[in-house]
Every structure is written in C-alpha cells, then in structure tokens.
Amino acid sequence: MIQIIPLPISDAITLYSDLSFVILDSIDRNQIEIQDSDIVVVTHKIVSKAEGRVVHLDSIKPSAKAITMAKMHDKDPRIMELILKESTQILRAKNGIIISETKHGFVCANAGVDQSNSEGDTAVLLPVAPDDSAYRLQYAIKKKVGKEIAVIITDTFGRTFRNGQTNVAIGIAGINPIKSYIGKYDMYGRKLRVTEIAVADEIASAAELVMGKAEGIPVVIVQGYNFEKVSKTSFKSLLRAKERELFL
C-alpha cells in the first residue's frame, strides 16, 4: 500500500537553513518512522530559500528589453528582468504569459520565477542545480538516519493543451525517474515499443495532493512504492530532446 504522509514545517526557511535537520525534526515531532525506500518529496521553494535563491526586487534594475516586454505583457519590469536572466530563450509570450526555456532546460512559465509564498517584495528563483540539491539532501538524511531513501524536488508546471497545473520533478536523487516498458508485452501479447512512465513526475504530482499552495506542507514522505534505486540519475532523463518535440 502506498502512503503519502504530509510533513508540516513550522520553521521559517532562510539562507543556510539545514533542510535535513528541519525535515527530520518534523518527522520526529509527528512520530513518523522513516523507512528504507521512502521517497522524500520537497517543494523547490524551501530548497531555493535555503540556497539563497531569493531576490529582493528593489535590487533589480530592469533593462530596456525587460521594460518593453513588461509593458506588452502587463508584468512588473523587475520580474521580467529576472525571467530574462533565468532564461536561455523566450519561446512564447501571449496574454500576459511568458513561456521560456530555463538554463536547466525546463520549458515553463516565467522561467520558474515565483512570488507565491515569498515574503515581502521578493521573488524566488529555481535552484541553480536541483539534482545536486537533491543529492545533498539525500546524503544528509541517509547519514543521520541510516536509511536508503530517495529525494525528489518539485515545482508546479502547466501543460500543453491542458488546463491547470501539476507538480513535476525538477531534481532527483536515488530513484530512476523513468519506468520503461519498451520490449515488454501488454495483456494481449502485443510488444510495447514506446511506453515509458515518468514515475518521478507522477510521485511529485501525487505529493501535491497533500502539499497544496497554502497549507504549509512543503515536504511529503511517500512510503510503499517499489521504485528502481539508482546511485546516479538526473531530471534530464525527463526532458524530451528538442528534435523530437512537436511543439517547439
């Protein structure tokens, strides 16, 4: 049986907060027993805050390009400047929505620049290297509790031709993010040729059911899912090569 266990975090996460300590403290206070093969799912917002990826907007001087685009798309010029700095290219800009490719290779709205759950006149950026962030957190928790766990760092993305947003994995440690059925057979004996399941994204999405945007639950423990353990992996396994993408 798969269980999705919310972890409320009462501490304010700031620069240099020890996330492994904060998470394990919440686990102890809520009398949760962490087990081998647990998956710790963490919203990127607290990772970014601990890593200093919070920007005070009064420190941003918008470029002429940012000012022009901000007027066209009804955005704060300072936010527009951050979007441009965090992007390798702007792919679409329409109806106040900016879709860009980030330096990580993610295609998402506003290059991941977000003001929700951000104190004062600030914005939170994505972690610089979210896989590295996931590995550091995995190592720290494993060292403290002696359990073989995986870590998934998440963000909320929109989807082509679908309303609403869903959580996806942007940083991964200890779990193969893709479950491939290629070469196997379906229940009618047909050989499968293309089926690959993005299990890391599905776990991230399931975790959001108890995280929410305003519930103060940035961490979830997923127990009971039998995943493929790997020592080295990356969110890049989830990114489709541009030459195979139909919508770019």
Give Cβ neighbours of residue 215 (< 8 Å, ≥ 6 apart): 6, 8
- The pTM score is 0.94
**Which uninterrupted H or E stretch holds 154?**
strand 150-159
Whole-angstrom distance, CA of residue 235 vs CA of residue 198 = 10
- Say how many CA atoms lie within 13 Å of 226 toward its Cβ: 1
- Say how many CA atoms lie within 13 Å of 192 toward its Cβ: 14
pLDDT tens-digit series, residues 147-196: 999 999 999 999 888 999 999 999 999 999 999 877 777 788 887 777 88
Q: How confident is the model at residue 213 (pLDDT cuts 50, 70, 90)?
A: low
Q: Report domain 55-123's class.
A: alpha beta
Which residues on adjacent β-strands are paired with residue 156?
167
pLDDT tens-digit series, residues 78-95: 999 999 999 999 999 988
The closest alpha carbon to 43, from 151, 153, 131, 128, belongs to: 153
Residue 72 three-state SS:
helix
Average pLDDT over the chain reads 92
Contact call for residues 84 and 102 (beta carbons, < 8 A): no
Looking at 62-66, 92-96, 143-147, 173-177, which range is the least confident one? 92-96
Q: How confident is the model at residue 248 (pLDDT cuts 50, 70, 90)?
A: low
Whole-angstrom distance, CA of residue 48 vs CA of residue 14 = 9
Q: Which fold has domain 3-53+127-239?
A: 60s Ribosomal Protein L30; Chain: A; (3.30.1330)
At residue 177, the pLDDT reads 96
Boundaries of every domain in the chain = 3-53+127-239, 55-123
The closest alpha carbon to 216, from 49, 15, 12, belongs to: 12
**Which uninterrupted H or E stretch holds 151?**
strand 150-159
